[in-house]
Amino acid sequence: MPIHNQMKRRTFLKLGGMSAAAALAPTSLFASTQKQHKNEEFRSLSLYNLHTGESLRTTYWEQGVYHPEALEEINHVLRDFRTGESHDMDIALFDLLHDIRNKTGSNKSFNVISGYRSPKTNAMLNHTTQGVAKKSLHMVGKAIDINLPGFDLTHLRKIAMHEGQGGVGFYPKSNFVHVDTGRVRSW
């Protein structure tokens, strides 16, 4: 089979699998996203990983469809830089970052301090760094630590808290805000 036909078949199978998974997912998973983004034609992210030097600008959602290739690229940039392991990140986290960045009015990339963390990395950090949770949402792809160049960290925290979509942690000494898609809380 020619290589371009194999790629088309793989893409078709991947999209079919994702469609089946979406059909089985609870409708509440998509409800808040749909309500909040009624008039949008696309959603994009711009990320810069401080540890790997990688940057990414991508449109990950267009006219109601998440783009698998873009989601994979984002997952790769947000991988555990210590182990090289990547994990499927929560799409709701991408939507939250998109919303936060829109509210800042900035066109700059989020600096990523930490995205996915493998259990091994999280255990090491839990023993060596104060404030790292044993059961961190970073380990399940539902958390990210960020800052936005040229944007006040206190104001970034306020915007994230105003979204009311998960946890928000404030770490001014380390120059980042933690956002996650867990239960709503702040520290």
For 114-128, write each residue's pLDDT tens digit: 999 999 999 999 888
- On whether the pTM is more than 0.75, the answer is yes
CATH architecture of 46-57+69-186: 2-Layer Sandwich (3.30)
Please, what is the average pLDDT of the chain? 86
Environment class of residue 75 by beta-carbon count within 10 Å: exposed (0-12), middle (13-18) or buried (19+)?
Answer: middle
Of 49-53, 99-103, 106-110, 131-135, the poorest mean pLDDT is in 131-135
Exposed, middle or buried: residue 95 (CB in 10 Å: 0-12, 13-18, 19+)? buried
3-class DSSP state for residue 100?
Answer: helix
Task: Write the DSSP symbol of residue 41.
Answer: S
Q: How confident is the model at residue 23 (pLDDT cuts 50, 70, 90)?
A: very low
CA distances from 118 to 73, 133, 135 (A): 18, 13, 11
Q: How confident is the model at residue 129, as a pLDDT?
A: 85
Is 60 exceeded by the pLDDT of residue 24?
no
